Structure 1
Amino acid sequence: MRRVFFSWMLSLGMAALSACSSAPAKKADASPKTLTSSDSALIQKVVESKKETPKVEVDLEAAHEFFFLAKNMEMRGDQREADFFWKQAYKADPTSRYLGFGVAERLVIAGEDSLALVEAKKASRLKGKRTAAQYALLARLYVKAGEADSSRKYFVMGLDSSRYQDMALLYDYSLFLEAARDEKELVRVYDILLPKVNYISTLFQRQLSLLLDMGKDSAVVDLFGKAHEATGDKQMLLQKVRGLMAMKRFKEARAVVDTLTSAKPEDEEMTIMVLSSLPGDSAYAFARKKYFEDGVKTPAVLCFIGQYEYDIDMRDSAKVHLLQSVDKLQGQPKYANRAYLGLVNIFASEQNYAEAIKYAEKSDSVSNGDTRMLLASVYALADKYDKAFPLLDSLMKFWETWKPLPGVVDSANLVQLQNEAQIKYLQVLDIYSRALIGEALDFEKDVRADSAKKARALDNRSRAEVMLETFFAKDSSYNRVRLSMAMNLERLKRYDESFRHFDFLLKQKDFSPHEFASMLNYYGYSLIEINRSVAEVEKGYKLVLDALVIEKDGEAKDAYLDSKAWGLYRLGRFDEAYQAMQLIDNKKMSRDDVFWEHMAAIQEALGLKKEARKSYRKLLKLNPKHPAALKFFGKKK
């Protein structure tokens, strides 16, 4: 061929020369024509079209035969022979995209990743059906080669091709994104992958961690919701409700809890959680609905119902529900303690101190000492001062000398811890002082008290005064402490100091009507009793009348009527005083020596000797050493 071509070129050249020699001569000044850009493009196009594409020889028959041999070897488990025949099949048909990727896959299995990538690249340029598996192979090979951009490209192409149904490819893509630290895309991929793997724990926790780190609280809540829908796991629903509550999405949380109909622990916790976000009446109605209608019949929900009933003074119902719940809450100390505390208050208000102590001790046992001050208070109410004072001494010493642990000294919470310790210390002072005053009052009421008890009463009040002054110096805003000071100073006969505190307290608004009425009566009666001047007695009488207006139908009505009668007696209005005394329920006051002292004195002032004699005799039975009674009967003290 080469010689023929050369001869042809030579003859063509000679012909050209002959033609040139016989052609007329051109003008010497004619300049050559310049090519334009469009001319160049046209020439290039012609040149490209004239290029000869290397012809690829394809032997389809051989390719098919080798392919079937390869499959046969694979079925027999002879992978080495199978690989050989795969290569032979591809060699016979190098235009087959399918065979090219098949060879690349087997190179990967053999550990020849670099060669596999070469073959996969070559195969990717061939015509044929493009599959997700082919893109996945390229993506994984580019990962091993460290070519991140190409890896991402083929992962996305593979997932798009499979419509994101290839879980293995999704998982591999997630590993790639982890390495690339592309958290935003990783969250998207996990969101697709998790439902396909039924929210497997490892992936779920990783997705949760990512969302929390990115501050996507709403997405976290949605994640738990989707997991619950897919798995039915109530723990997931519980976490969703917790998230909604934390984000103050209370209506959504309530809507979830409204669907609960079983008594599982998660249902109970979710119900209690939502109750805390509702106002009192709504919370009570919701709790009753969940317990009595929806089947969330758990002791903790019943305990909440009982607590609320106690708060609105439905004492009988509260007691029933708290007692029903308390024995079933043994494994739930948090809720059990709430029931204990409610029962302590109920039994203490009923003056059933044995039961109050029982539940106060139970509360102390499950609260790690957090309710020890309450226990000391109940002991004091029950006149068990031998148990109350040692507890209070221990608490006083602890909070008086409290210091933070060394590791907390530089903590941002140090100020808060110090404030909490200060509050605890003040609480101990308050409770301890009231316990001392309570014991002193018992000694003072004891008509048979010897000189030692009387001295003990005075010492108690003096100690209480020191504690109250210490409290007041640290925080003078607690008006109930000021009230304790005022009453204690009155008993210590430091009247002017006491009455200054009372006058201040009369202007305050933070007492309940019952408490305010009690204070009015105490102050009024004190002014009447010491009888220093008519003006003070009249002031005291008016204060008692104000107390009666507030407590006209209350339990303290009889005591306030007694104070009114004594005020009228001091003012010389004996008939009116006697009328007031006759309004009092004598049965309630039958054991009250002060009542009989007043009755007898008023009867004597009215000249009712016979009636006065009977009253003084009753007084002597209660207080054999009462000076007024002894004087009436002409006896010496």
Structure 2
Amino acid sequence: MRRLWISLFAVCVFAFVACSGSRKAEPTVDAPTKTAAAPKKVYAQPRYPVKLDSAELLRLEIAHGSFLRAIALQAQGENAIAEQFMQHAYAADPENRFLAFSVLELMEERGATAEAAQLAEKAKNLKGKKTSTQYALLGRIYGEQSNLDSAVVYYKKAVDASDQNLHAAYEYALLLEITRDYDELSRIYGILLPQIGYPQSILERQISLLATAKKDSALADLFGEVYEARGDRSFLENRIRLLLAMKHFEDALKSVEEFRADSAYADDSLSVRFVMAVYSGLKQDSVALDTLREIYKRNPERGDVLLDLSLFETKLGKKEQAIIHWQRLSGMETYAAISFGMLSAYALESGDSAQSLTYLEKAYEKAPMAYRNKLLVRYSADKNYAKAYAILDKALLPNEKYDTIRTQLMTDGKLEEMRKLDLEIAMDKAKLYYEYGTLLQMNAEDLERAPTTQARKDSAMTLRKQATDQYVKAGNIGGDSQNLLFAYGSNLLMFGMVDSAIVVFKRIFSLYPMDVVAKNHLGYTLVDLNRNAEEVKWGSKLIDDAIQQDPKNIAYRDSKAWALYRVGKFEEALKIMEGIEAEKDSLSDEMMHDPSIFSHMAAICEALALKKRAVEYYEKVLTIDPQNENAKSRIEILKKKEE
């Protein structure tokens, strides 16, 4: 009876022992018959012989019985006792990979990671079927032992196995965050996300990883996949934006067509911008323009569509159509400012300066901050200083809008945002004071420019005093910017406050040592004033520094010639000035109308007894500045000497 039971048991354990590493006898196969009879169906012989060694059979019986008992106990939640029976099963069949990993799993569940790690070293090398579950278990065990390199190896095998283990993939992802292998982490998320429905937290992490790695193509694909899975248009929108940024216009066009497939969104503002961007990228401007016109026909009340149409016509040089549409758009309050601004540009282009200024003033009225600087430039170019001052005076008044916003930020406890707003207001005010000072200085220079009168010179001094005050206010708020310091210092020189100006220029040289314009400006002024030998020497050195950095600059060379004149080196000075004269065709209009260059030539020629040439240069001075008393007196003196 026992022999019969053992035979039945042997048949039952075939599947179980299939993965056993025990020694086995080779199966026997009958020799084929030599007759030419019809082929007979040949059946595979059993893997194990029916006859087994009694000791081996007993071992398998023990292993099988303990295994079944362990499984039953696990089902009842008795994991501790189940582990003992599983240990018995594995001890009976120690080469069985399946049993080894069954023990490892129970060890790992009770937290016996040290024991599990020891067994894992043997279990991983046992023969038998290798599964993703086993690899994942090894990954967990090595991870818990802080053997991260080995943990990574086995988690990777678990994920890449044919029976891909998604739970292992998630654990692997957590490990990769620790090891900071973000390329591999991104690959694992790419496997996980489609399988688990793109959960938001992992999706956001994958987007961040791809964006940081600048894998734009992969990110665009991800957005497309999420859109297909969720139907969320924001992901399709992000895909289009990314494709446009990558200049993948063909792919972008397909996505845009899909984006517009829903009639509810076909003509919305975002769709219109996508259409324009795609067709512009594809160099299909005519298609873009036709598309815009069709959209506008369907939506004649839409200012945003008319704006896009006007801008696109402007871009393509469709001037007449653009002007018509800008004029129509100017009647819509939301778009009035930009419309008047564009109409101003068109009028100026056509040579109608008056109409251009009228349109610009209307644009400023609608959007003061946006058009303030443009209008100031126009007023200063037209020398309409009174209107420019009025704009600046208005801009410097307390702004109720800012006060309201600031109060609300304070009430909401948004102190950092409030501080940023305060800084923005302060810097804008500093800029306004600087612009005010610059306009006052420009106004003064116009009054001082020949021909002039004493009354004009007195008015200029008043303006320079006011400019100095504005520059001081700007510096107190915005600090020592390079432009501000130069404007402040040069104004002080013209105001006659030379020592104060020198202090300012030294500040420039300390903060901005490469500012050659400032070096030449102060250097020439010191040489021209000729207050003492030391200042003339220092001024000459500053001019030399400027020329070293810009040796072809005519203004710097003129300064150098005048410095040589001051120390009696007339021949060298004349050589430089003749070099400048030879380049008169390259002189700017401003320099051609600057009497100082011809005054220098005249003085140098006079010092060298070249009287006739000196008179000619003084006469050129008078053509620019008819009231120049020095030129008049020198001509009279030189002509008397010739008599």
The TM-score, its normalising length taken from structure 1, stands at 0.49
Larger Rg: 1
